[in-house]
Structure 1
Amino acid sequence: MEPGVKATMHNSGLSAVSRVGGVRAVFAALGCLALAIGAFFIANFAGAERLEAQASRAASGTHMGVGSCAGSTCHGRNEADGEVVRQDELWRWQEESTPGGAHARAFRVLGEQRSLAIGKKLGIGDPRSAAMCLGCHSTPAAAKGPRYQASDGVSCEACHGAASGWLASHYATGTSHARNVSQGLVPLENAQARAGVCLDCHLGNDAPGQFVNHRIMAAGHPRIAFELDLFSTLTQHHDEDADYRQRKGKTNSMRMWAVGQAIALERSLSLFGKPGLGTEGVFPEFYFFDCHSCHRRIYDEEDARPAKISNPGRPIPTGMPPYNDENMIMLSAAVRIAAPELAQQYEGQTRAFHAAMAQGRGPAVEAANRLRQTAMALADRFSRSDFTRAQTFSIMESIASEAISPRFTDYEGSVQAVMAVDTLLSGLVTQGQVSGGAATSLRAQINQAYAAVAEPNSYKPLEFRRALGGAVRTIRALQ
């Protein structure tokens, strides 16, 4: 929403209150706001129940294996010459030289030296047979068809759902996408459904082998980093042509980004609230905290200066590790523009959650649950938003604004910020709202922001903010 429109609504509301008459009108206005917010939650929970039902159907079938998709009349051709779909999707999934092949390589990396060393440190033996690893480096399956192989890695059905219910129908004459979904195909064109699937491994889940805790990272596992639209683009195997859009609609990258941020925050807070995941022994599970708040150089000299920079979004005592708030920060930028009526509630709850972390696990979990519900409401709201050209530019401005950028004190949030700007600009190009040539001309400035987060151990917050601000100022010229 344009700032001018927001101001008009705000001023009109104040005028209406003064005309109707004092305190009663104020309470009436608050009642309407409460009803509106309640409607968001009701709609969100209904949507969540539908997605959970779809996920249940997708998980309950039999996994048929990659081989069931590999025929030359299906997805296993050498050339992309299919009449309806490319039909070389399997080869793109297996491509070694691109990020698109990452899922196919997932199992194989378990046999590499780094993975074997991690397995030895954790005492789990060969990672290729360890449940702790196979939940995300393979495709978990309760029921397995004759062509299923764990060595296929993150296969077609890891994302699209167990295929026994829809394999035959999805290529039958006269079928529909809705019918396939009703039989267990995961509707990945739905931003919430896609985020739920991806985040099972790219953030975590409580299913076996789908949570990379701090012990696993301490043994050598890479830090988890994810942004829904960017990673989807890197691993995309299909073309969004006229036929695709007719069946599933056109992907809105800005919506994918915003929903991805909201679902990621909801997932993080949900896992944090689970006793078996949020703590380990007498310690909190450090996976949920900002890595670089602890992994800093220690200075014992008399003239030592703390490396920590004050973060205005975290009302916590000095010396207390902060919760990893990378998705919270991105949502702060999005909610101001795309859901301003929830902005004050959201900001208050994020600060309350950080403050509750200093009070004990009980208050922190209660605050997390309140914030989680708002994140769910935002995911539902964003799922129904078109994210106009003006809104998208405003969100990028918000990310680099004085209201948000001082919160980029740590590496994780800064990585999310530069991925966000890149994703949102690319989304404008995809939607035909900015020319590809104009966007390409700005690549050098965006690359400078990426360079500022290229190496975690040399990350400098103030330098990053300058680089990000420079990129956004350059993008501003496209408006």
Structure 2
Amino acid sequence: MQGITMIIRRLAAVCRSLPRPAGAALFLCLAMAGGALATAWAVAPAPVRAENPAASLRAHMGVASCAGSTCHGRSVASGTPVRQDELLRWQEESSPTGAHSRAWRVVTEARGQAIARRLGLDGAGVVRECAGCHASQGAKNLNDGVDCEACHGNAGGWLSTHYTVGASHARNVGQGMVDLTAPKVRAGVCLDCHLSGDGQGQFIAHRIMAAGHPRISFELDLFSTLQAHHDEDADYIQRKGHRTNSMQMWAVGQAEAVKRGLELYSQPAKAQDGIFPEFTFYDCHSCHRRITDNEDGAVTAVPNPGRPIHLGMPPYNDENIILLLAAAKVVAPDLAAQFDARSKAFHRAMGANRAETVAAAQALRQSAEALASRMGGADFSRERTFAIMDAIASEAISDRLTDYQGSVQSVMAIDTLLNGMVNSGMVSAGASTGLRGQINQAYAAVRDPNGFQPIGFRRALGGAIRSIRSLR
């Protein structure tokens, strides 16, 4: 626990020093939802994976292959056309940009070891359960944690040519590099560990969280910003073909998160835990509420118009559904009504039987897929982005923010969208800085999950949105 505590303290110091709006978001999302970055379980040092004799052009080459002083291993950002200090940033001890490099190390620290004991894992079990997210697939040494190729793809096919004369991003992708400039592709890579995936050790079950793993939460653009090891300068835009649109990245990330959750839920082996449902899919606060048998005890649950279920039924965790609906109302109003209706039908079907629920999940997933495609091709203009933030604060959406997880998503959303407009030159940095007080009040309303008050949070969120409207 001491190692984790030290990291969190360092993150808090970084948050306080950050000039951009991510300061509060950084501490909140990484302390609350570290997922594959902030915790795991182990009882033994990292083993070395056996070398594959049938290594192919898709082979994992390892961190050392990127670490030359003329490549990504410089100690200062003085390279052209890339910074060339990317490895140093990946290893940064006092910053979240170094969290991927620490991913396996935290497996061996006190909190990870305690989780392993609670789960009854031996050394082999730790590798089986943890390496899927806390290390890179195909890596020989797990101590490298989540290395370059975990995100950029195994480099056997493109390492020797991606820096040569005439190289292009399109050619690199054709040779096996993962195209992280594409929002859907990036979301797929990140979701495997920051929500859950199908790979070995990538499904974060409720039993793992019950043993001490942080709850899982995902917001594509914010998490990408915290892990960025590059600058989006003129050269980057020339090489990649465009600048990242943070608002689009956020919207596509919401759609892909909805899809991923429904895909996993539709698998019987994932959705059931013995005779019980797999509770990782459900809203934590629907069960983790204060319990009292006293006569003055009061029901703390707040009615949610987006969930047509009875009060005692645990609802599906719909945090990404809520935010995707807000975006759909602005970007794709022709698809929004169907998505909303299918969302309610999915909740309702859980009170019937498994077959109806899976059918409803598949219908809702199809709607999310249509929205992902629409968001991926949409123009996120200044006016449209302001309209999305208005939609989040509207009664139709804010009335659904009855639980902690959806509320966290909503405040991260307005922070991400506002910062995206600043980065795109739609809003001045000075003007946005003046709104930090109101945004921080919204963050404060979700700082403590055990003290979360839905009505108080809605007031804080509404205050932040009203302040942002002054920029319009």
> TM-score scaled by structure 1?
0.86
* Distance in 2 (alpha carbons) for counterparts of 1:88 and 1:239: 11
CA contact (8 A) 2:57 2:157 kept: no
The aligned residue for residue 150 of structure 2 is 158
Q: Does 1:206 align with 2:198?
A: yes
CA contact (8 A) 2:218 2:257 kept: no
Q: Per-residue CA shift, 1:186-228, capped at 9, x if unaligned?
A: 0000000000000000000111000110000000101111210
The aligned residue for residue 137 of structure 1 is 134
CA contact (8 A) 1:127 1:133 kept: no
The aligned residue for residue 365 of structure 1 is 358
CA contact (8 A) 1:213 1:285 kept: yes
Q: Does 1:234 align with 2:226?
A: yes
Aligned residues: 416
CA contact (8 A) 1:119 1:127 kept: no
The aligned residue for residue 249 of structure 2 is 256
CA contact (8 A) 2:305 2:399 kept: yes
The aligned residue for residue 181 of structure 2 is 189
Post-superposition offset of 1:127: 7.9
Post-superposition offset of 1:130: 2.3
Distance change (3 Å), C-alpha of 1:296 and 1:228: same
Stretch of structure 1 that moved more, 119-128 or 371-380: 119-128
**If each structure's helix is expressed as a fraction of its own residues, which one has the higher value?**
1
**Within-5 A mapping of 1:78-227:** 78-126=75-123, 129-141=126-138, 148-227=140-219
The aligned residue for residue 467 of structure 1 is 460
The aligned residue for residue 8 of structure 1 is none
Post-superposition offset of 1:303: 3.1
Q: Does 1:401 align with 2:394?
A: yes
* Distance in 1 (alpha carbons) for counterparts of 2:155 and 2:414: 36
* Distance in 2 (alpha carbons) for counterparts of 1:63 and 1:319: 49
SS at match of 2:99: helix
The aligned residue for residue 405 of structure 2 is 412
**Which consecutive unaligned segments of at least 5 residues does structure 2 have?**
1-55
Q: Does 1:273 align with 2:270?
A: no
* One-letter amino acid of the counterpart of residue 284, structure 2: C
Q: Per-residue CA shift, 1:332-375, capped at 9, x if unaligned?
A: 10000001110111111001001011111111111000000111
* Distance in 1 (alpha carbons) for counterparts of 2:57 and 2:342: 37
* Distance in 2 (alpha carbons) for counterparts of 1:177 and 1:60: 18
SS at match of 1:404: helix
Post-superposition offset of 1:128: 8.7
CA contact (8 A) 1:170 1:176 kept: yes
Post-superposition offset of 1:447: 0.6
SS at match of 1:467: helix
> TM-score scaled by structure 2?
0.87
**Which consecutive unaligned segments of at least 5 residues does structure 1 have?**
1-58
SS at match of 1:303: coil
The aligned residue for residue 276 of structure 2 is 283
Q: Does 1:422 align with 2:419?
A: no
Query: Which of 443, 446, 452 matches 2:439?
Result: 446
Q: Does 1:341 align with 2:338?
A: no
CA contact (8 A) 1:111 1:127 kept: no
Alignment RMSD, CA only? 1.2
SS at match of 2:399: helix
CA contact (8 A) 2:61 2:155 kept: yes
**Structure possessing the higher radius of gyration over alpha carbons:** 1
* Distance in 2 (alpha carbons) for counterparts of 1:66 and 1:129: 22
* One-letter amino acid of the counterpart of residue 473, structure 1: R
SS at match of 2:100: helix
CA contact (8 A) 1:128 1:134 kept: no
CA contact (8 A) 1:159 1:186 kept: yes
The aligned residue for residue 350 of structure 1 is 343
CA contact (8 A) 1:111 1:128 kept: no
CA contact (8 A) 2:57 2:156 kept: no
